[in-house]
Structure 1
Amino acid sequence: MTNPAAFRDRTNWSDGYYELAVEVGSTDDARLQAVLSALWSAADVQGCFGYGDREPDEQDPVSCTVDSLTEFGHLHGQVRLPTGHMVVCGCVAIRGGDESSDWLDFYVPLGALAHAGLAYWDGRPFFRSRMMDDWLAGVGAKVFERTPFALGVIGFEVSGCTSASTLAGKLPQTRGIGYLVPQGDLLRYGAANT
């Protein structure tokens, strides 16, 4: 059986990513750092590494910082799913520049989910898992308690599919993905319903 927590097994990193993508709400490094720190803690990620092609015991850990994200492009670790399986995971920042917001994407690759036994082919042309959605929504809610953000979206490769300004605080009625929409000091979760 393939170990879904093995960094060196390239099939763990294959087939795309199931994400909690967080629109930070600014392009300020301090805000991005606050969300990154809160996210790593909320998901209880084990380790923080710059390389996804070396096992954790084959590399030195790196700081869970915006500087490390900038240097390595992605940060990698291992996370325990609600099923009890430990899997590889990662994080990447998409910087917005002067006129938009930064995004921070926390992801678990579909290859690792498949190796952990999460069946994801149910006739849809993309991965969807209610268990993953609810777990990532819980992670997002914990992040929001520590450091509010503009928007969270959950699903298969969802980063940038919408924005806080587009939604204007309103949760869509028909949802192909999960949404974490701030409404004042509260965070409203709208699960995928199509």
Structure 2
Amino acid sequence: MAELLLSVLHDQSMSNPAAFRDRSNWSGGYYELAIEVGSTADADIQALLSAVWSAAEVRGSFAFTDREPEEQEPVPCTVASLTEYGHLHGQVRLPTGHLSVCGCVAIRGGDDSSDWLDFYIPDGALDNAGISHWDGRPFFRSAVMDDWLAAIGTAVFDRVRFSLGVIGWEVSGCTDAATLAGRLPEERSIGYLLPREEGLHYGAANA
């Protein structure tokens, strides 16, 4: 009985990775699927945003993280909302089965470069979901998250073409399609979704 009580108390004390109000869920950086759009047109980034939300089966579209989804009105999942609020937030089912907070941000490149759309799970939520994403090396890595985000990116590409996808911790803008020129690095500390003539190629992290 004592062991059962301790187990219940332990479960109750654990943070809920899906809770918006739990500030620990939003701590740290972001584990991302960062997509280079290939243009700066609002219509193109909107198409990708809609495709990401659908492929990941995100629940809701909310502006604020200081109140739970049921405590606020949803906002449209649009580029206009991203412009107004900076980020859009929701909840998503992780590959481990945990429901978690998630978010999305657009990084507009201006006239001289492509836009990026970043779909992310904050580090804190991964910690609270019990997903290991650091093993002492000087970067974050989770094969489980990599493969899941790659599957989302592949589903997105089936609906909306993009220039490049990169997967890992804080990866947005770390390279671009022009730099890669259609070739994957042989040693990869992050994952790549690289469009080729025969379709989208996933190069998993291997270094």
What TM-score bracket applies, with the shorter chain setting the length? over 0.9
**Secondary structure of 1:3 counterpart:** coil
Structure 2 match to 1:183: 196
TM-score relative to the length of structure 1: 0.98
| Paired letter, 2:32 | E
RMSD (Å) for aligned C-alpha atoms: 0.8
**Secondary structure of 1:162 counterpart:** coil
How do 1:112-191 residues align onto structure 2 when only pairs under 5 Å count?
112-184=125-197, 186-191=199-204
> In the aligned structure 1, how far is the partner of 2:98 from the partner of 2:139?
22
Give aligned pairs, total: 194
Q: In proportion to residue count, which structure has more helix? A: 2
Larger of the two Rg values belongs to structure: 2
Offset of 1:184 from its aligned partner?
2.2
TM-score relative to the length of structure 2: 0.92
Structure 2 match to 1:83: 96
> In the aligned structure 2, how far is the partner of 1:42 from the partner of 1:119?
24
| Paired letter, 2:88 | L
Offset of 1:123 from its aligned partner?
1.7
Structure 1 match to 2:43: 30
> In the aligned structure 2, how far is the partner of 1:134 from the partner of 1:121?
16
Structure 1 match to 2:70: 57
Q: Which moved further from structure 2: 101-110 or 125-134? A: 125-134
Offset of 1:159 from its aligned partner?
0.2
> In the aligned structure 2, how far is the partner of 1:36 from the partner of 1:131?
23
Residues 134, 142 of structure 2: 8 Å contact kept: no
Structure 1 match to 2:26: 13
Structure 1 runs (4+) deviating above 3 angstroms are none
| Paired letter, 1:87 | S
Q: Deviations over 1:140-190 (max 9, x none)?
A: 000000000000000000000000110111111110100000002500000
Offset of 1:35 from its aligned partner?
0.4
Offset of 1:125 from its aligned partner?
2.4
Residues 87, 104 of structure 2: 8 Å contact kept: yes
> In the aligned structure 2, how far is the partner of 1:120 from the partner of 1:129?
5
**Secondary structure of 2:76 counterpart:** coil
Consecutive unaligned residues in structure 1, runs of 5 or more: none
Q: Which moved further from structure 2: 50-59 or 121-130? A: 121-130
> In the aligned structure 2, how far is the partner of 1:185 from the partner of 1:46?
33
> In the aligned structure 2, how far is the partner of 1:15 from the partner of 1:181?
28
Offset of 1:124 from its aligned partner?
1.2
> In the aligned structure 1, how far is the partner of 2:30 from the partner of 2:137?
16
Residues 61, 89 of structure 2: 8 Å contact kept: yes
Residues 35, 163 of structure 2: 8 Å contact kept: yes
| Paired letter, 1:65 | T
**Secondary structure of 2:45 counterpart:** helix
> In the aligned structure 2, how far is the partner of 1:119 from the partner of 1:149?
29
